[in-house]
Every structure is written in structure tokens, then in C-alpha cells.
Structure 1
Amino acid sequence: MFLLENQVPCEVLRVLINFRSDVGNEGEETMHSFVDFIVHRQRTSEPEGGKLRTSIYQRRPSHLLEMYRTSFLRFDFNQKHSPEAKFLVDGKNQYTNYTHSCRSATELKAKGINFRPSTGKSLTDIDFNSLGFYGQLKIPSRVITPSAKAIFLNLIAYEMCPYTPNDFSVTSYIAFMKSLINHPDDVKVLRSNHILLSKLNSDEELAKMYMEISIPTVNNAIFMNVQERIQEHYNSRAKTWIAQMISRYLSSPWAAIALLAATLLLVLTFLQTYFTISPRSGK
């Protein structure tokens, strides 16, 4: 139903659904309820659902795939993420590939960067904060089902089409997540921190899914600031060395006790050597 080539205009679907009932807006409610359940695994009921939809859909979606994309992103195309605000930086078009590298999840974790679920309502509410020796990367939680790859590919194809809200938000989000996942261990890090809620059989299967998705182009401006801050924290040797030391030697009580015992033994050995070489005179 979400294949790009199979899309039927929403107006046709509304008419077909309304044939079975005297309620004039049943078609609209049925489609929204269906898409909300598919995207977020929960149904939005009136009146809360109606208010939420009013804030999300600033214009009527043309078909189910566009409705899916809008619900998936949870933002207003015409204001917060308008093409003029996102694509033009110093008057230049930013339809280019990422210029800032983003390390894998395990590599970032090794440098003292922790992952936390974002509380934002938009899919693009990804934020990074450098907190002393540690960093915190907040990413919205997302349920990954067996059909996720097919839907992602069709959303990417839809954003490449002309006359669409082609701000590449979904494509850029998938590219960002793809940059974090190079190995099943990366999936494990994101899954253990409730970023990815996987319905697949294994971490290997989820990692393979992301690696098989090809990203033709992205909106460079959406995550540029986040990636620059990640890279700045990553390049700080003092921060990363101290974070690595704390993670390695103070991650558990036993590791801390072992470090304390080794330090005490080293100090005693030093004192013994010193007094052997320079014994105290008199009393």
C-alpha cells in the first residue's frame, strides 16, 4: 500500500470509504487512524487525534505515502522546515552529500558519547550536548519492523520526485542513522539505549537492512550543526582520554577496587624504593 507506484489519490480513497457509511468524514478518520497505527504503533483518537492531525497536516496529503511521511516526521512543512530555511546557506543550494563525517555508535560510545531517546515530537529533533568529559546524543526512538526497508526506500523515492515536499528530511534522517550503523554491535548500542526498537530477528538483520539502503542525496543543513558538535567533541583528546579512562577503570565497583589496589601498590613500591636508596639518619 505504500509503494510509490501504487499510490491512489486520497480523494478517491475518501469517496470509496464513505460509501459504506453516512458519516461524511469517516474516510478521512479511517486513513489517519490507519497511518498513525502503522507509523507509531498506536491509534490517535478524537479529540486529541484531531488536534494533533490539524497541527501536523497543514495541507491535505495527496496519497497514503505522503500521509505516512508527514506522520513519520511530525512537523509542519510550511514553517519549521521550509525549503528556503533549510536549503539556502549563504545563497547556495545545499543538495549535496554530507561533508562532516559521523562515527559509528560503538566508536562514539568508546569516546565517552552516550545515547539517549529524544523527547522532541519531530523526527529531526536530534541534538548533541558536550557535558564535561562526556557527550550526550539524543535521537528519537523508532520502531523498526520487517517492512521498514521497503517503506524507507519508497519514502526516499517519493522525496526525489518533483512537486513534492522535497526537503529530504526522511532521506537525511535515514542517512544519519546509516552513518551510525556499520556493524551489529552498533545496533546493540542503539537498541540497548532504546533508540531502535527492533521487531527483526537479530541485530545482524537490522544492520544489514541499513547498510543495503542507498542514499542518493541529502539535505546537508538539517544535521550539520549536530555533526559539527559531535566532531568537535570527538577531536578533543583531553575529553575523550578522560572519558575512556573512566569508562574502562571506573565502570564497575570491581574495576574501581582493582585500580585503587594497583595505585596503592605502586605508591608503596615507590616509597620502599625511595627509603632503600636514601635511608633516614638518627632516630
Structure 2
Amino acid sequence: MLKILLDLVNPFDEPLCVDNIPKDTPTHHILGLLHKIYKPINFDLKVSAIPTAHSAVDLEKVGVKIKPNKSLTWPMEFKKPMYMFWSKPTLRMPVVHVDNFFEVVIRNLIAYEQYTPADNCVTSYTMAMPMLVSTPADITKLGKSGVIVSHLGSNEKASEMISSICKNVNLQDFYYMEPWKNIVEYCDSWLSNFGVFKGTYVDTPWKAIALLATITVFLTTLIQFFRQQITPCASAYNQTDGFDHMRNVWTVIQICIVFDLLSKCRIVTCPFIQFICYIEFNYLIV
């Protein structure tokens, strides 16, 4: 009977498990029992700082995948793969149903943690969610990832609810500091640029083939350029030929495409590559 009652107030996708709660556990309120079920097994708060926020859309841009974590102990785990080229870093989080009843349950659990000695696992969760959700587009992304099921009729309402659910709440310790710290380190490293590159140009086999072909043409053009510099007579002869001039114009277009690709991936910040592209462009356009 108690489990049926708790399931009615559970806003998360996974069923509640009361087997791990001893029968002689002192509980003064149904919120206390619900809080004990949600509390992680190894709950250890060591850091009190709130980390930098990164929305779900921002994480997608740098190549982070968001997947459901089928557990009711409020886990949010961030894992980086061993080989970045073959897989993406993943943030796992519990599946939640967002509706008006969700807001009632979460606000009551926050109040329970604020006015009792209970640990701040629920408050930490409600602090983490607004970091991921800043616009309706973030709700759309999390919905496609399967971690949010909205029953409010619009993503705007869901975004407003999640953004405001933890306002004016005092949080002494943030439970998810470790995964959020790893997210910040990843977003600030060169790996995030590689994630942007991979998500834009090599997320499908055809894009990878097209990129390889473009780089091959670019390198071939560089080789031809240096060969013409070594043989100036042949170079002068080729530039008088109309067909070769058209070929040079087409090569310039290809160089512009590759240069744009490199700039988006922040690879052209290398002065040597900038110099080579500039010299070759000015040489072939003549």
C-alpha cells in the first residue's frame, strides 16, 4: 500500500524501490521517506561552489551526448571515451516527467531539505537542471535524448518551470560538482573543438569521405604550387594557357572552401597554415 502511494507522487520514470529502506527507519513525513529512497548510496559532499553553466544545446555543439540513466538515486555521470574519434563523451541523467505535479513534489522536497538536516541531493538536482535548460531549445534537445518527458503542452512552459523551480533557494553544497567540473574541463579543452569538428564534418561516412577528398585536393594543390616554384619556366608557360588558368580559378575556390572549413575548426589559428593559404591564394589568382 505504501509503495503504491509513493509511486503516485514519484515524478521520475523508474519505479521506486523501498526494499533498501529498513522498516524501523524513523520517518516523520512522507517526504522524508521519499527523500531516503532518492538519496544516493554514496552521498559525500566535499565542494560548496556552484560550477559554470552549460546548456544542453551548448553541450551538443561541442559533441557531448546526453543519455538516460535508469536509476532513482539522482545520478548524473559524465564519461569521456578512451578514443575521441570513435565515440562521444556522454552525460547520463535520470528520466523525469515534467508536469504540474512534478513541480509540487520537487518544491516540497526542496523545502524538506531546507528546513531539516537532510542532505541536499534534491536541491542539487534542481540546481543542475536550470544549467542544462535555459531556452525551449534545450527542452527539445533533452526530449530527443530521452531524459525529459514534458506534459505541459509547450517547451516554453517546461523551460520556464525548470528555470524558476530553484530560485531564491540557498544551496550550501553542490552534489554534482565532480561531473560538472569534468564538463567544464572538457568544454575548455581542445577536445571540445574536436567535438565541433566531428559533429559538423565527420558525423556520417559520406561527410568523412568528402572531407578526406577535400584535404587530398588541398595537399595536391600545395605540391603543385611548390613544384611550379621550383620550375619557374614551366610555371610561366602554364599561366599563359587558358585551360590552366580556369583550373587555377577552380583550385582557388577549393582553397577557399578548405580555408573556411579550417577556420570553423579553429585550425587556421596556426600562423604557418595561414601563411601557406595566403601565398597560394595570391599566386593562383594571378
- For normalisation by structure 2, the TM-score amounts to 0.68
Look up the SS of the partner of 1:131 in the other structure: coil
Q: Which residue of 2 aligns with 1:255?
A: 207
User: Number of matched residues?
Assistant: 227
Q: Which residue of 2 aligns with 1:65?
A: 31
1:2-151 aligned within 5 A: 29=1, 31-39=2-10, 52-56=17-21, 59-71=25-37, 73=38, 75=40, 80-81=42-43, 85-86=44-45, 89=46, 98-123=49-74, 125-132=75-82, 133=84, 134-151=88-105
Gaps of 5+ in 1: 1-28
1:191-230 aligned within 5 A: 191-213=143-165, 214-230=167-183
For 1:116, the aligned partner's letter is K
Deviation at 1:60, TM superposition (A): 4.6
For 1:223, the aligned partner's letter is Y
Rounded to whole Å, the distance in 2 between the matches of 1:42 and 1:138 is 14
Rounded to whole Å, the distance in 2 between the matches of 1:221 and 1:173 is 9
Deviations 1:42-87 (A, max 9, x none): 897xxxx8xx42413662532333344444x1556xxx43xxx53x
Rounded to whole Å, the distance in 2 between the matches of 1:190 and 1:41 is 15
Deviation at 1:206, TM superposition (A): 1.1
Is the CA contact (8 Å cut-off) linking 1:171 and 1:215 kept in structure 2? no
Look up the SS of the partner of 2:173 in the other structure: coil
1:168-187 aligned within 5 A: 168-187=120-139
Closer/same/farther in 2, CA of residues 116 and 210 from structure 1, 3 Å limit: same
Rounded to whole Å, the distance in 1 between the matches of 2:58 and 2:22 is 38
Rounded to whole Å, the distance in 2 between the matches of 1:153 and 1:270 is 63
Rounded to whole Å, the distance in 2 between the matches of 1:150 and 1:42 is 17
Deviation at 1:247, TM superposition (A): 1.0
Is the CA contact (8 Å cut-off) linking 1:57 and 1:70 kept in structure 2? no
For 2:111, the aligned partner's letter is A
1:227-242 aligned within 5 A: 227-237=180-190, 239-242=191-194
Closer/same/farther in 2, CA of residues 183 and 225 from structure 1, 3 Å limit: same
Look up the SS of the partner of 1:116 in the other structure: strand
Q: Which residue of 1 aligns with 2:216?
A: 264
Gaps of 5+ in 2: 234-286
Deviation at 1:277, TM superposition (A): 3.2
Deviation at 1:280, TM superposition (A): 10
Closer/same/farther in 2, CA of residues 135 and 156 from structure 1, 3 Å limit: same
For 2:99, the aligned partner's letter is T
**CA-atom RMSD in angstroms:** 2.9
Deviation at 1:221, TM superposition (A): 4.6
- For normalisation by structure 1, the TM-score amounts to 0.69
